[in-house]
Amino acid sequence: MATRTRTLSRITKVLLAPALALGVTVGLASAPASAAVWNSCDQWGNTSLNGYTLYNNIWGSGAGSQCIWANSGTNWGAWANHPNTGGIKSYPNSKKVINKTITSLGSLSSSYNVSVPSSGAYNTSYDIWDTEYDYEIMLWVNKTGPVGPLGTSQGNATLGGHTWTVYKGNNGANEVFSFIRTSNSSSGTVNILPILKWIKDTKGWFGNETIGDVQFGYEVTSSSGGLNFTTNNLTVSSS
């Protein structure tokens, strides 16, 4: 599998990177047939709906065109046409802010239902961050094509209702813990809190971090010719 390499996190790129000369000029016909509440083909296009923030987030070099649409914060999708080259081009996503320490969380879970293409190179993943962006926890629920996580394998673990192969690495800006589901899934529920507690208490890879963002989206490496990624439903809940 190809190794993911990044010099800056997606979060840093969204906040600081200048706009690239990308061909993000595809019309709104890339949105679903029923008129969406919101859509954008801008590189950093974003909006807030129903307590979630949506981002088009074309952050990688060599990217092509991409548009995002949303009927709500929990029903949205993206059309992407990125060339068949290596390197992550984008991470269109929906974000829910938590802002609670691990020990103060009584629960943190999410349900997902997606429709994804059978071609291209991408993963469907949660991207979970602490408030200082020192640690990135990725949960890949499906993947297609030559894509792979950063770091080295730490073996398998059954946590949060799924069995994962766990990888530990560093992208030069933050520690990255990647949990790759051992088989692809297009719908399900992930109990996120036990995964965070396993990292903290069982492995000791971080302390009682304050969990900031829970993002869910599509990390696209290539989607030549244009592919659709649809989040039919997404909920993130905590207490």
Q: Name residue, tokens 């649809």.
A: 230
**The CATH number of the domain covering residues in 10-238:** 2.60.120.180
Structure confidence at residue 34 (pLDDT): 53
The candidate with the shortest Cα–Cα distance to 70, out of 28, 110, 109, is 28
Tell me the C-alpha distance between 222 and 75, whole Å: 23
Residue 46: pLDDT band with limits 50, 70, 90: very high
Contacts of 48 (CB under 8 A, 6+ apart): 54, 73
Q: Is the dihedral of CA 225, 26, 233, 163 positive or negative?
A: positive
- 77 pLDDT tier (thresholds 50, 70, 90): very high
Asked if residue 95 lies in contact with residue 52, where contact means CB atoms within 8 angstroms, the answer is: yes
223 near 67, Cβ under 8 Å?
no
Q: Place 11 in a pLDDT band, splitting at 50, 70 and 90.
A: low
Q: pLDDT grade, residue 20 (50/70/90)?
A: very low
Sign of the torsion formed by the C-alpha atoms of 172, 173, 179 and 185:
negative
Give the model confidence (pLDDT) of 196-230 as tens digits.
999 999 999 999 999 999 999 999 999 999 999 99
- Report the run of H or E that residue 11 belongs to, with start and end: helix 10-16
**What is the full DSSP assignment across 12-77?**
HHHHHPPPP-------GGGS-SSPPSEEE-STT-EEEETTEEEE----STT--EEEEEEEETTEEE
CB 208: neighbour CB atoms within 10 A? 11
- Residues 91-145 have pLDDT tens digits of 999 999 999 999 999 999 999 999 999 999 999 999 999 999 999 999 999 999 9
Contact 1, 147 (CB under 8 A): yes
DSSP designation for 193 = H
Q: How many CA atoms lie less than 13 Å away from 147 in the CB half-sphere?
A: 25
